[in-house]
């Protein structure tokens, strides 16, 4: 499972945030790693310097031989947006890829 992090306009690169994203996505590897070819994270600051609930994290998982699964979460905090998006992706993967869901 390959992982990628993409920064949109106005999003400053942060090694700490990138490590956090990688760690959150690694949580998916034990159960889904052999079924996923790639997971990409797209970060976007919707309102720029205006603030508010504008930090967007979109995750796109590519299951082998299946259509992509895309989820998105927004929060005022990058880490919360990433955490929420990873939780949504985990639930979507379970629904689509696990037989008992």
Task: State residue 6's pLDDT score.
Answer: 94
Task: State residue 51's pLDDT score.
Answer: 62
Q: pLDDT of 3-53, one tens digit each?
A: 999 999 778 889 999 999 999 999 999 999 899 999 999 999 987 666 666
What b/e sequence results for 16-46 when a residue is b if at least 16 CB atoms lie within 10 Å of its CB, and e otherwise? ebeebbeebbeebeeebeebbeebbbbbbbe
User: To which residue do tokens 């299951």 refer?
Assistant: 63
Local confidence band at 101 (pLDDT 50, 70, 90 cut-offs): low
Domain boundaries, the chain: 2-95
Is the domain spanning 2-95 CATH 3.30.160.100? The answer is: yes
Task: State residue 52's pLDDT score.
Answer: 61
Q: Backbone dihedral region of 52: left (phi > 0), alpha (psi from -120 to 50 degrees) or beta?
A: left
Query: Once rounded to an integer, what is the mean pLDDT over residues 65-81?
Result: 95
Task: State residue 53's pLDDT score.
Answer: 65
| Full-model pTM | 0.90
């Amino acid at each position: 499972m390959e992982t990628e992090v993409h920064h949109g306009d106005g999003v400053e690169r942060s090694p700490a945030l990138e490590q956090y994203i990688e760690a959150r996505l690694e949580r998916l590897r034990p159960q889904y790693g052999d079924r996923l070819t790639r997971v990409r994270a797209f970060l976007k600051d919707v309102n720029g310097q205006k603030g508010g609930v504008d930090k967007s994290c979109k995750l796109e998982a590519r299951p082998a031989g299946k259509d992509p699964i895309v989820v998105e979460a927004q929060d005022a905090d990058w880490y919360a947006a990433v955490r929420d998006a990873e939780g949504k992706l985990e639930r979507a993967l379970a629904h689509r890829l696990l037989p008992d869901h």
